[in-house]
Structure 1
Amino acid sequence: MRRTRAATALAIVTALAATTAGCGGGASTGDGSPKTLTYWASNQGPNIEADKKILTAELKKFEKETGIKVELEVVPWSDLLNRILAATASGQGPDVLNIGNTWSASLQATGALLPWDQEAFDRIGGRDRFVDSALGSTGAPGEHPAAVPLYSMAYALYYNKKAFEDAGIDKPPATWDELVADGKKLSRGGKWALGVEGSNLSNNIHQVFVLAKQHDADFFDASGKPDFTSDGAVAAVKQYVDFMAEDEIVAPGNAEYAQNQSLQDFARGKTAMVLWQTAATTFKAHGMSPDEWGVAPVPVPSGTPEDGSVPNSMVAGINMAVFKNTDNLDGALEFVEFMTSDEEQKILNKTYGSIPPVKAAQRDEAFDTPDLTVLRDTLAKSAVPLPQVPQESQFETAVGTAVKELFADAAAGRPVTTESVRERLTKAQQQMPK
């Protein structure tokens, strides 16, 4: 089923340039009343029901303040991009929606989203309220943003303190060599060192993108054309898959893992480490006490500077967008203003364990915890945005699938070589629109 959805997404994206310029018919607004908005939220909590409970309480506050009712749907990450692409193609979408910040330029290119010019930003308090790293992932350079930042995140290395203690390891690994060496000590007795999600295309992309940066490579050249088969890109993908294929510190079953399954294993003590963005909320939901895990920056190659300047995370986060053909633009802007207000930013980001992209909210002492300090420092010093190019969403599908297939090879005991990695990445590049 996931293969079918991915293929559908690629087909829709290819056709978008021809279809969305004429989007019309008005966005769905429930009963058509100007006092009603529809909102597609992304799954930020441990499950859909948790998000509904968290967000419904805030939406009731908004309705009380403004008289505007918000009809909420929390869309799983496995479906969200395809739902949005279908809505941009048909012109029948929600009024307001969450998007992964890596999709901003791709969705911007459809023409279906409201451009956030100076007038729009003024309606929500001004552009300068937001931190620069978050604004850097809101659309193509030189164009008005396609969305505004809502939640900011970065990747970190989460580790199980007791597992490290039992293995005689006194600190988290700072380099990949250390991670592999520690991983071999931790992978024993039916437990494994590192959890991955081989069937989670977006997560695959996030990991190999950063590794490519560490190999002085990128997946797009300076002109924005795909460059998936450079030596650095190939080395990055092979390094990631080799945690299972060669280093044997990842369970073969992880090749089939999808969203949040690696976090569940970590919370249950099946794995000792996981590379993730703002995972604390999910760990707590699965019964872990905060003193059971530690948080450290994502490792970097051995021999690199220790000043925190080497990229070790993508700029992760969620943006909030408005469909341009909404029947209730004023209400939609009011809702975005509410969700990005200082007070709501504190409430929502504290609940989800993320970092507020709003400067004033970020200064609240609630975000000075050890976990969030690591994430905030990473965002400030060593996180880099994924390419803000129109083809980004196709890149996530094509290369994310290539990594998924390579993990399947590793799990089945088939060799993963430089040549086989390059072959898969060549196939992925051939799938990109010309």
Structure 2
Amino acid sequence: MFKVKPFIFVSFLTAIITLSACSSGDSSGEDEAGDNTIQVWTMSEGLDDFVTDFEEESGITVDVQSIPWDSAHDKLLTAVASGKGPDVLQIGTTWVAEFAEADTFMDISEYIDDYENLAPDNFYDSAIGTTEFDGKTIGIPWYVDTRALFYRTDILEEVGYPNGPETWDDMIDASRKLADRGEDQYAIDLPTTDPQFPFILAWEHGWNYDIDKGAESFDSENFKEAIELHHLFYEEGLSQMGEGKEFFQAFSDGSKPMFFSGPWDIGTIKDRAPEIEGKWNVKVMPTAENNKSMMGGAHLSVFANSEKVDQSLEFINWMADPETQVKWYETKSELPANKEAWQDPVLANDGLVSTFGEQLESTQPLPLIPEYERLGNEILNVLEEINRGGADIDQSLEEFQVEASKILSK
């Protein structure tokens, strides 16, 4: 699961760009190990052992440096400022706009046709949508993730939904019945700290962020419908206000028999709640006007100052190969971005995992703007004021639009 840190302001980005322009163009790939060594920065543990097959096949040495997510953002900023970074770097989808605006990545558009695994048609459209910025191709999808509905099949069957709710109307009906079971019984744990979730709800109600309109995009009945839906779950006590029981305990004992999350929680439930084996499943998102979820994950990009472009692209091409992507899934449980990889029995024959593959066909990239995270966190603040503080929805959305305008103007 990728993590993000607060975005820096455009003025600071401008300063970084200036520093980068004045810095040395030396690539960190030029090291004592020799000219055929590339350096790769990643936030995914285990890559150093995984790439040994590539090294044997290609004769290229891969110097992998693993960076914790919580320090990766600052390390990348330092690399941009100094002009001294790796040859290949992993970038989370929500960081693309910020670092692309700072000229962190090489535009690899002219190289795409030279490598069989880099063709855009190999990947989900929404994943490709997060690799393109200002007419440039700044990376190749490595792995993807999205959100879907986890639910207790046995408990949902008791309220008439053995296969889970198909629509948001179904979700409301099922949730009311689940909450009626008695004291401390709820329907679902809604994400309260995930800045992507409000966008997902809004997309499903027909809303889209328009970069040209900016903050005016939020002056929309569709967006308001999504906020009202979110509030309904707290207003009617369908979702608990406050933390309550430990997350997986509540799912295991049935007091919160539904939640939205990503594919990593498949393994977590198996490990943390083995007593409910066979009593839960995963389902694509409920439908309003559509059932779009978010497209997340990470890309592999060539650092702008790298002098090892050919070797770097050969490595990325290998990482994008469907067989490699299946092996990486088996190693780290991170979902393949290459669509052909999903035909492998390892994924196709696993009903829980293949549901995420189905959801990936109905996804949307997050707004590729540097201010995205700040907007998402501001929406979470608005929801907190409405759900917990009883603030008026119309007034709160007016105030949010004013704040969004300030954020986007910086």
Query: Secondary structure at 1:210's aligned position in 2?
Result: helix
Tell me how far apart the structure 1 counterparts of residues 210 and 108 of structure 2 sit (CA, whole Å): 26
User: Is 1:41 the counterpart of 2:42 in the alignment?
Assistant: yes
Is residue 349–residue 356 contact of structure 1 (8 Å, CA) maintained in 2?
Answer: yes
Aligned match of 2:293 = 313
Instruction: Provide Cα deviations, 1:318-374, integer angstroms capped at 9, x if missing partner.
Output: 211121113543443333233222321111134444542224323212221222333
Does 2:206 align with 1:229?
A: no
Bigger drift between 23-32 and 101-110 goes to 23-32
Note the C-alpha offset of 1:408.
3.6
Select which of 263, 278, 284 maps to 1:291.
Answer: 278
Question: Cα offset for 1:394?
Answer: 1.0
* Residue 235 of structure 1: how far off its partner (Å): 1.0
Of the three residues 371, 381, 390, the one matched with 1:394 is 371
Cα distance change of structure 1 residues 338 and 250 upon mapping to structure 2, 3 Å threshold: same
Deviates more, 1:178-187 or 1:406-415: 406-415
Among the aligned pairs, what percent are the same residue?
Answer: 22
Q: Say whether the 8 Å CA contact 1:130–1:149 is kept in structure 2.
A: no
1:127-156: per-residue Cα shift (whole Å, max 9, x none)? Answer: 156225132321137x23110011133321
Aligned-partner Cα distance in 2 for 1:69–1:267: 43
306, 313, 331: which one aligns with 1:333? 313
Count of matched residue positions in the alignment of Structure 1 and Structure 2:
396
Q: Which protein is bigger by CA-based radius of gyration?
A: 2
Task: Specify the alignment match of 1:101 in structure 2.
Answer: 93
* Structure 2 equivalent of residue 46 of structure 1: none
Are 1:140 and 2:117 an aligned pair?
Answer: no
Whether 2:17 is the aligned partner of 1:20: answer yes
Cross-structure match for 1:75: 68
Give the TM-score normalised by the residue count of structure 2: 0.81
Q: Within 1, Cα distance between the matches of 2:270 and 2:398?
A: 40
Unaligned runs of 5+ in 1: 43-50, 305-309
Q: Which residue of 2 aligns with 1:251?
A: 240
Quick one: which of 171, 175, 181 aligns to 1:179? 171
Tell whether 2:352 aligns with 1:371.
yes
Hey, what does 1:190 align to over in structure 2?
184
For residues 249 and 32 of structure 2, what CA distance do their matches in structure 1 show? 41
In structure 2, what is the equivalent of residue 272 of structure 1? 257
Amino acid across the alignment from 1:332: S
Cα pair distance change 1:228/1:237, threshold 3 Å: farther
Partners of 2:75 and 2:178 lie apart in 1 by 40
TM-score (norm 1): 0.77
Which digits, 9 at most, give the CA deviation of each residue in 1:106-165, with x for residues without a partner? 432322201122325524644156225132321137x23110011133321111224324
* Partner SS, residue 170 of structure 1: coil
- 2 CA distance for matches of 1:353 and 1:244? 32
Partners in 1 of 2:30 and 2:257 — Cα distance?
46
Give the distance between the partners of 1:245 and 1:385, measured in 2 at CA: 28
Could you tell me which runs of 5 or more consecutive residues in structure 2 were left unpaired when the two chains were aligned: none
Q: Give 1:239 deviation, angstroms.
A: 3.4
**Offset, 1:313:** 1.2
Q: What is the CA distance between 1:233 and its match in structure 2?
A: 5.9
Q: CA offsets per residue over residues 357-414 of structure 1, 9 Å max, x none?
A: 224323212221222333223333x3222334xxx2312x222221232344356444
- The root-mean-square deviation of aligned C-alpha atoms, in Å, is 3.5
State whether residues 234 and 421 of structure 1, in contact with CA within 8 Å, keep that contact through their aligned partners in structure 2.
no
Q: Which residue does 2:204 correspond to in 1? A: 214
Amino acid at match of 1:184: R
Preserved contact between residue 195 and residue 265 of structure 1 (Cα < 8 Å): no
Cα 1:137/1:186, change in 2 over 3 Å: same
Q: How many angstroms apart in 2 are the aligned matches of 1:171 and 1:412?
A: 32
Kindly indicate whether the alpha-carbon contact (under 8 Å) linking 1:157 and 1:298 is maintained by their aligned counterparts in 2.
Answer: yes
Give the C-alpha shift of residue 100 in structure 1. Answer: 2.4
Distance 1:285 1:358, change over 3 A: same
CA distance 1:60–1:333, change in 2 (3 Å): same
Partner of 2:8: 10
Letter in 2 for 1:215: H
Corresponding residue for 1:84?
Answer: 76
Separation (CA, whole Å) in 2 of partners of 1:427 and 1:5: 20
